[in-house]
Amino acid sequence: YSFFPGEPRWPERNRDLTYAFDPRNSLTEEVKSVFSRAFVRWAEVIPVTFTRVEVFSISDIRIGFYSGDHGDGEPFDGVMGTLAHAFSPPNGHFHLDGDENWIVSGDVGGDRLLSVTAAVDLESVAVHEIGHLLGLGHSSVQDSIMYPTITTGRRKVDLTSDDVEGVQYLYGPNPNFNGSRSTPPPSTQQRDTGDSGAAGGI
């Protein structure tokens, strides 16, 4: 695991983070629930909560799908190539390439291969980018969530010990975290906290 220069993290006084979606994307609830699941995976291991709000402009984390040049100097490049990017704390911007074929699997579960290689699993990318939003850089541990590349057609959403060690270095462990995690996380929880409590395994 690695960190951004200066090891930025969300300050102690602001660990109950809010997130919202760019209203211009008109996302369905099904798409939004993919991000809820992704946030829960991180919230289970650190004392940080993520709450969805409707006011995009004032939320801590702002999620949007854009194509090509979208004003942050990091234009997207169409299908494949760069899939998404997110900024280190406390910036909170989380951008995804609107030209990708995003798979909103819905049938929650762990890592596996999707049948078609032209697809990108949205939750896999979301879990990775949330790691950046929390302050993690890229890792060279191939199975880790924070490994920069993803094989097309692959679903990779389970945090590895490398990811957990890194994020707990920044925020400490979730007091309710007992070393195991629920799989799958609840999909309909409006307030995404990590205390779903069901046992699971890394």
Partner 1 sequence: GFYPNSSAIPPDLRRNATENVWNSFMNFTGCHAGMKVNGLYKLKQYFQHFGYIRQTLPKNFTDDFDDILKNAVETYQRNFHLNITGELDELTLKHVVMPRCGVPDIVNGTSTMHNGRRRTYEVSFSGKGPRFHAVKR
Please give the residue ranges that form the binding site for partner 1 (CB under 8 A).
Answer: 1-5, 28, 30-31, 47, 74, 76-86, 101-107, 114-120, 122, 125, 128-129, 132, 137-140, 142, 148-153, 165-166, 168-169, 172-177
Beta pairing class for 49-52 and 61-66: unpaired
Handedness of CA 26, 184, 186, 134 (dihedral sign): negative
Considering the complex, what minimum distance in angstroms separates the CB of residue 200 from partner 1? 18
Considering the complex, what minimum distance in angstroms separates the CB of residue 146 from partner 1? 9
Per the residue annotation, which of 44, 54, 129, 165 is the catalytic one? 129
Residues 126, 38: contact at Cβ < 8 Å? yes
Considering the complex, what minimum distance in angstroms separates the CB of residue 55 from partner 1? 23
Residues 129, 109: contact at Cβ < 8 Å? no
Would you call 54 a catalytic residue per the annotation?
A: no
- Cβ contacts of 169 within 8 Å, gap of 6 or more: 1, 3
| Residue 118 or 202 with smaller CB distance to partner 1 | 118
Considering the complex, what minimum distance in angstroms separates the CB of residue 15 from partner 1? 13
| Residue 20 or 96 with smaller CB distance to partner 1 | 96
| Residue 20 or 133 with smaller CB distance to partner 1 | 133
Task: Name the residue with tokens 């801590």.
Answer: 60
Buried b (16+ CB within 10 A) or exposed e, 159-197: bbebbbebbbebbeebeebeeebbbbbeeebeebbbebe
| Residue 5 or 55 with smaller CB distance to partner 1 | 5
> Among all residues, which ones are annotated catalytic?
129
